[in-house]
Structure 1
Amino acid sequence: MTRWFRSYWAEEDTWFYFEADADGWVTRQVELQGPLESPVAAASSTEWEAARQAGTLAGYEAMFGSTAEVPVHEWDPHEPQELTAGEFETVWLRARATCQARARVGPMRGG
Structure 2
Amino acid sequence: MLTYVRWYHPDEDRWSYDELDADGWAVRHVEMRGADGAILAAASLAEVLAARDSGDTRALRRYERRYGFVPEAPLPQPGSDVEPPVEEISAEEFEKLWRIARRDLVGRLKEYGRSSRSRNGMDPNDRQYGRKLGTQIKRMRPEDLDRLMRDDEDNDQ
| TM-score (ref. length: structure 2) | 0.64
| Offset at residue 77 of structure 1 (A) | 5.4
Distance between the aligned counterparts of 2:64 and 2:109, measured in 1? Answer: 11
Mapped contact 1:7–1:77 kept (Cα < 8 A): no
**Stretch deviating more after TM superposition (53-62 or 85-94):** 53-62
Partner of 2:89: 83
Partner of 2:150: none
More strand by share: 1
Partner of 1:63: 66
| Offset at residue 20 of structure 1 (A) | 0.3
Mapped contact 1:4–1:84 kept (Cα < 8 A): yes
Distance between the aligned counterparts of 2:62 and 2:109, measured in 1? Answer: 10
* Structure 1 unaligned regions, length at least 5: none
Distance between the aligned counterparts of 2:76 and 2:36, measured in 1? Answer: 29
Distance between the aligned counterparts of 2:106 and 2:69, measured in 1? Answer: 15
* Structure 2 unaligned regions, length at least 5: 114-123, 125-136, 143-157
Q: Map 1:15-30 onto structure 2 (within 5 A).
A: 15-30=15-30
Q: Compare CA radii of gyration and give the structure with the larger one.
A: 2
CA root-mean-square deviation: 2.3
Q: After the TM superposition, which segments of 4 or more aligned residues of structure 1 sit over 3 Å from their partners? A: 106-111
| Offset at residue 62 of structure 1 (A) | 1.1
Other structure's SS at 1:11 match: coil
| Offset at residue 34 of structure 1 (A) | 3.5
Q: Once the two structures are superposed, what CA deviation does each residue of 1:43-102 show, in whole Å capped at 9, x if it has no partner?
A: 00000010111221111111101110001149x451111111000001111000111112
Distance between the aligned counterparts of 1:25 and 1:58, measured in 2? Answer: 21
Distance between the aligned counterparts of 1:73 and 1:41, measured in 2? Answer: 20
Percent identity of paired positions between Structure 1 and Structure 2? 38
Distance between the aligned counterparts of 2:3 and 2:35, measured in 1? Answer: 26
| TM-score (ref. length: structure 1) | 0.89
Distance between the aligned counterparts of 1:87 and 1:79, measured in 2? Answer: 18
